[in-house]
């Protein structure tokens, strides 16, 4: 591994840390808000963040170069990854808890590697492929822990299927994003992505706006804050890393978030750490070392 990390690598690792913080915030409110409503609030607050930023970032720069195919890929990646994949992930958190849902869904570097090879014809180097496998092994080991206090029965198989489905959709969405943002700035891309996700979810997933009125102020602030952190800052760093170092390497480094999540879970959610967790963390770190 080099002495200094590149900007793209730092962005990917920073995105993983912020995503873990976002997940921990959501876990504290996951039984009070439906996944669809949670995503609407999160993406709505992130959209507000990017719209405020847009006038200061040359909003029309490069738009004439964006092709219709790139717009379709951008919209498709939104529906696949953020509308469907994120909702499955949030549902999985409610079913099997933060630790297992975060760990299982974080196997998406492998699906990204597969889709990048199938759709973009970009075979991975040996070090990158081995690093992806080690990270995947690490998160599988991490998924074996998660003795969180539950307020409802755990439906393990259902939660595992939801988490792994989210991983597949996130991998496909990431590969679709790589060519989609070729001529868009990061602020432009997110200024389109976030409000569109919020609008689509509001129209097709929420049966009644009354669900928002039932939320207390603290819950609303926590979920909106997670949107600023996870869908705002983390998403910005995530797209930057994809542009700078490519899809597979970016998602492999970002998927170190279970390690950050485990640390946060121990500190704030009183999760227990055993030998399996330590082995999982070691495998994740070994995979990251190979990728770097």
| C-alpha span between 146 and 222 (Å, rounded) | 23
| pTM, 2 dp | 0.76
Phi, then psi, of 254 in degrees rounded to 5: -65, -35
Q: How many CB atoms lie within 10 A of CB 32?
A: 15
| C-alpha span between 60 and 267 (Å, rounded) | 44
Nearest to 205 by CA among 43, 27, 75, 93: 43
Tell me the pLDDT tens digit for each residue of 142-159: 765 544 545 455 677 888
pLDDT of residue 125: 75
124 touches 240 (CB < 8 A)? no
Q: How many helices (H) and strands (E) are present in the chain, helices listed first?
A: 15, 0
Structural domain boundaries in the chain: 7-291
| C-alpha span between 96 and 279 (Å, rounded) | 21
Tell me the pLDDT tens digit for each residue of 71-93: 999 999 988 988 889 888 878 88
284 touches 256 (CB < 8 A)? yes
């Amino acid at each position: 591994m080099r002495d200094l990390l590149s900007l793209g690598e730092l962005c990917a690792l920073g995105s993983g840390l912020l995503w873990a913080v976002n997940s921990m915030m959501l876990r504290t409110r996951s039984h009070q808000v439906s996944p669809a409503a949670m995503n609407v609030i999160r993406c709505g607050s992130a959209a507000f963040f990017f719209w405020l930023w847009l006038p200061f970032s040359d909003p029309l720069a490069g738009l004439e170069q964006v092709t219709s195919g790139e717009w379709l890929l951008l919209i498709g990646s939104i529906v696949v990854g953020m509308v469907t994949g994120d909702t499955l992930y949030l549902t999985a958190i409610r079913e099997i808890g933060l630790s297992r849902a975060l760990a299982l869904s974080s196997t998406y570097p492998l699906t990204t590697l597969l889709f990048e090879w199938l759709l973009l014809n970009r075979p991975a180097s040996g070090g990158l492929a081995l690093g992806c496998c080690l990270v995947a092994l690490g998160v599988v080991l991490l998924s074996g822990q998660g003795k969180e206090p539950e307020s409802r029965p755990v439906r393990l198989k259902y939660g595992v299927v939801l988490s792994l489905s989210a991983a597949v959709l996130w991998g496909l969405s990431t590969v679709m994003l790589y060519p989609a943002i070729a001529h868009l700035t990061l602020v432009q891309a997110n200024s389109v992505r976030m409000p569109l996700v919020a609008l689509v979810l509001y129209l097709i997933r929420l049966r009644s706006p009354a669900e928002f009125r039932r939320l207390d102020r603290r819950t609303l602030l926590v979920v909106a804050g997670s949107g600023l952190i996870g869908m705002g800052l983390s998403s910005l760093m995530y797209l930057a890393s994809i542009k700078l170092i490519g899809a597979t390497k970016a998602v492999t480094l970002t998927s170190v978030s279970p390690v950050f999540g485990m640390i946060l879970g121990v500190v704030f959610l009183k999760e227990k750490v055993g030998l399996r967790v330590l082995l999982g963390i070691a495998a994740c770190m070994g995979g990251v070392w190979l990728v770097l």
